[in-house]
Amino acid sequence: MNIFTHTIVLGDTDWTNETITCFSRVPAVGEYITLLTTGKWYQVCVVVHTPHSDEYSAEIYAVAVEHDEVMRRVFHDRY
C-alpha cells in the first residue's frame, strides 16, 4: 500500500512529502505515526482517501509532536 505523506514541524513553512509503503493500513486522524523507528512522531490531522489513484491508496497530512509530551499526557505524568 502506497501512502503519500505530508509532514511538517510547526513553525516551518515547507512540508516534507514522501511515499511510504510500510503501513499495513491507512493511519486515522488523531493517530500518531513515525516514519523511522527512531524518528520524530507526528499526529495525523487529515486523511485523503484516493481510491481511484493508480499510485496511492491515501494521502495523509501530519504535524510533528513531542514524544515525551504525548507519553506524559497519555499516562497522566507517570511516564
Is 7 within the bounds of a domain?
yes
φ, ψ dihedrals at 66, nearest 5°: -85, 120
pLDDT tens figures, 4-31? 999 999 999 999 999 999 999 999 999 9
pLDDT digits (tens, 9 = 90+) for 24-64: 999 999 999 999 888 899 999 999 999 888 999 999 999 99
Residue 79 belongs to a domain = no
Classify residue 50: in a domain, yes or no.
yes
Residue 54 lies in a domain: yes
Kindly state whether residue 43 falls inside one of the protein's structural domains: yes
Residues, the chain: 79
pLDDT given at position 37: 86
Domain membership of residue 65 (yes or no) is yes
Q: Report how many domains make up the chain.
A: 1
Contact 11, 36 (CB under 8 A): no
Give the domain extent around 60: 3-74
Overall pTM > 0.85 = yes
